[in-house]
Chain A
């Protein structure tokens, strides 16, 4: 290896070897826990397989079963879509907060920290806190509503078929709003101030400045928030599992809880794999749509 010739002797090759070694650990992690599972998952969804039986190709049978017989799938799909549809509201609220704490407001850092404080918390603990807030007897929400005379009888928010899903979504928004705010704040701070100055000289009112400058310039940040909102329908598993575990009945069942139950409670790994493919496809579809939508909307604003 000390010779002038030879593969190792060449500096370029030695460096390439070094780079490969440096990338290898990360690549192994991503291969084993991202790419390989994704591929295997798709294959598994076309097979009949359980841990003790050899795999048999059955084509689209799982998907057909899902489509025709699995009522829970349809409920979970609807709930997942409602869950995703709620995130724009949270993002709009976060944008409001971000606009309020932006600029040189005194104490802005304190407000920002408070709003952001719930984001890094363990979802299991957040679920337990909110269960307790919603509690029929000792919960503060029922207490507040009752003592202000808004309701006469306590509401079992998480036990009620129509209240359960909105209640879980509120807890989810409480945890996520700080994240959206931070992303939007970063976006706001990257807007060049001279755009606003020019607009002010032109006499553009605040509303016009918001719709013509702020919103279009925030497009990348808003898009990111929407994508995170879409992904949250996956990552909210912890919260839903703790707060309701999909109940009452299937009122708060999401696709991810349905996937978990099918795979790890009923050991139907193959069927759960098909469910996962559907949810993943849904996410990709919505992300692409959001991308298109972001472009289209912003374009319309500019044309106005």
Chain B
């Protein structure tokens, strides 16, 4: 826009610095607590950590079945990510083609987007129980195997591929499968990245669904482990906060590495909704 006076500009920066500071305080506070071992309830609390150390992280690894929760979370996220990339790419491709009932399928997808998962938990639980999938990895990942927003991400990416390229491939005698794998997917890497990132973060953070369908502690994922830790370790050391930091770290890393793809996924869902 127009040039701003230096005063206006510095006011703008000042406001943004204050806002950023407020947004970052919770991060600082949890990290500070996680690396402190003094009585965390002492008053006044130290603003800077005294004798910072990493024992709390070691404690978390050994005190609770952290490796098991981690393994479960990774397996469920992996199933969800693979399912999403494959199924969404297939559905996205199908939607780029003309066929009878295309509009009906599109309308169906768009209306499914308006149904929040939380509004379906009771029958979803009963259905999963009927299929015998309670306490299983597949049951945990099933509702997340395909995501409508991500289907539209693929559809948009495939539509952006020049038609002439696909026609040329078809003339060369490539089958539909080959066209998808050899032509469309290599040109849609950002869409794949968006799918992987969104699905990973959704699945990694998912709490309500595992809470409903896993009773067996061996099948529980990290968020459940964290909630359980909270309920029986409430008044102790910074270990709970070390646990929280360990759980947050992967999603923050993924987000910082692939912010662009993440945002693209969210905003393309936005323009379709």
Contact = CB atoms under 8 A, between A and B. Distances in A.
A224 interface: yes
B187 interface: no
Interface string B129-164: 000000000000011011010010000000000000
Interface string B88-119: 10110111010110000100110010111111
A33 B23 CA distance: 35
Contacts of B207: 122-124, 237-238, 241
Q: What range describes how many residues of B lie at the interface? A: 35 or more
A189 to B, nearest CB: 10
Contacts of A19: 94, 97, 99
Contact of B122 (A35, A122, A125, A276): A276
Interface string A211-252: 000000000110010010001001101100110000000000
Interface residues of A, number: 89
Contacts of A241: 207, 227
B20 A114 contact: yes
A205 interface: no
A34 B95 CA distance: 20
Contacts of B29: 129, 132-133, 140
A123 B102 CA distance: 37
Interface of A: 15-16, 18-19, 21-23, 25-27, 29-30, 32-38, 40-41, 44, 97, 100-101, 103, 105, 107, 110-111, 113-118, 120-126, 128-130, 132-133, 135, 137-140, 143, 147, 174, 177-179, 182-183, 186, 196, 200, 220-221, 224, 227, 231, 234-235, 237-238, 241-242, 256, 259-260, 263-264, 269, 272-273, 276, 279-280, 283-284, 287
A285 to B, nearest CB: 13
Given A26-B87, A100-B15, A121-B205, A242 B266 contact: no
Given A19-B94, A221-B270, A237 B208 contact: yes
Given A269-B126, A276-B122, A33 B117 contact: yes
Contacts, number: 248
A132 B33 contact: yes
Interface centre among A22, A41, A259 (most CB of B within 10 A): A22
Interface in B1-38: 1-2, 9, 12-13, 15-16, 19-20, 23-27, 29-30, 33
B227 A133 contact: no
A220 B270 CA distance: 9
B120 A114 contact: no
Given A138-B45, A276-B119, A114 B87 contact: no
Contacts of A123: 205, 207
A289 to B, nearest CB: 15
B62 interface: no
